[in-house]
Amino acid sequence: MGVLSQRTPDIVSAAIAEESIDCLVVGAGVSGLASALALLDDGREVTVIDAGKVGAGASHGNCGTLTPSHAPPLAGPSTLLRAARWMFTPDAPLYIKPTLNPDTLRWMLGFMQRCNHRDYVASARAKYTLLSDSRQRIQQWVERYALDCEFAETGEDYVFKTRRDLDRELGDVPLLNELGVDVEVVEGSDYEARDPAFKPGLAGAMCFRGDAALRPDRYVAELARVVRARGGRIIEHCALQSLASGAQGVLATTAQGQLRARDVILATGAWSPQIASEVGLPWLRKTIQPGKGYSITYSSPPLAPKRPVILYEPSVCVTAWGSGYRLGSTMEFTGFDDSLNEKRLGALERGAAQFLHHPVGPEVREKWCGWRPMSRDDIPLIGRAPGHPHLWMAVGHGMMGVSMSASTGQLLADMIAGRTPCVNPAPFDPARFA
């Protein structure tokens, strides 16, 4: 993502002369590239910068599901109880490392205050509007731009070992139905008959027919290809150092010189709190925290689930593509620790082994971890940055960055152009935190 460089101002100023451009997107992850594509479709000229390489952030290693069914947020009425129970279990599905960091503590307090039924429902409704629009819009992009990313209208299932957990999740069915999610509840023995990849002993499954899946790293690479093909410019290894926002535009100082842009879009993901002061948004430090996720990618096993699934009790996502097979998930709040915790990787395999005859593939192709940008209310920040007329935000998508990508880009393009937006922008207004 477009994080700060360690280079000195003298070295930076010598890199290139100041350049005037139309739109600058900071961050070449899935949200930044989707925003760039939507702006190019609007006839804007777009430059994308990133401190690293295209798609090297959270969108690289996730499980690639497009899930309106996942509208209910992480912060729910039972979340605090589960988090407390798992506090001293480092390989638990949700792990929060004790800390005295004031920004993290303020974020945690705000998150805890959202763990109630009223806010749970409000967050779910807001997220569903974006997820549902984006699910269809991504499919349109796949067809329009011939995106080679293994997109398929697969659906997705939650699969349960215990009746208690299934019954508890069934409590969300009325809300999901109200939102428009198509849910089928299947008894365990019937589900086992449908999919021979599963061991006997399932309690049941919740099947979501409207979901889809793709290979996320290929999707991001294809977005970059189309952005370039439509005239966009992507500059890798170009870290953002500071922004100076004014009435006529924004001056961005980067590791390769200064760019004066008419509009700037921040799509900096989990790195947003680290650059908060330098971009004139200090409140971001207590608004977004990195939530670390893990995945393991394998060659295909002899028998894999027919559809993407969430193995509920261990919270393991399983996705099979023609090109490979991935176990992923977990949520770990440990700051910006980038180490691969083998215990947590092992928990993915142990969780899958509880359910599947062939839980892993014969060859490990990649072990991965990455930081998801978790906002305090689990709703992304999309819109104009408060107090900055030409600075826009597309951050805080949590675990839903790929799922929300196309709608995020279109919503921003609509608001920047001043036309009626594709979805109601009010729930995503960054001003709610400023």
Residue 337: per-residue pLDDT: 87
| Residue 298 φ/ψ region, left for φ over 0, alpha for ψ in the -120 to 50 degree band, beta for the rest | beta
Q: Which residues pair with 331 in a beta bridge?
A: 94
Tokens in use for 230? 């439509």
User: Which tokens go with 352?
Assistant: 């899958």
Amino acid at 116: N
pLDDT tens for residues 205-228?
999 999 999 999 999 999 999 999
pTM of this structure: 0.92
Q: Tell me which fold the domain 9-58+218-286+378-432 belongs to.
A: FAD/NAD(P)-binding domain (3.50.50)
Give pLDDT, residue 76. 82
The pLDDT of residue 59 is 84
As a whole number of angstroms, the distance between CA 208 and CA 203 comes to 17
The predicted pLDDT at position 88 comes to 67
Q: How many CB atoms lie within 10 A of CB 244?
A: 13
Interacting residues of 72 by C-beta distance below 8 A, sequence separation 6+:
120, 123, 124, 127, 172, 175, 176
CATH number 3.30.9.10 given to 71-115+150-212+288-375: yes
pLDDT at 35: 98
Per-domain boundaries in the chain:
9-58+218-286+378-432, 71-115+150-212+288-375
Residue among 173, 134, 157, 179 nearest 34 (CA): 134
The residue written with tokens 């279109």 in the block is 410
Q: Please measure the distance between the N-terminal and C-terminal CA atoms of the chain and give it in whole angstroms.
A: 23
Give the chain's residues under pLDDT 50.
1-16
Predicted pLDDT at 427: 97
Q: Which two tokens stand for residue 348?
A: 């993915």
Per-residue model confidence (pLDDT) at position 58: 85
pLDDT of residue 87: 65
pLDDT of residue 6: 32
71-115+150-212+288-375 and 9-58+218-286+378-432 share a CATH fold = no
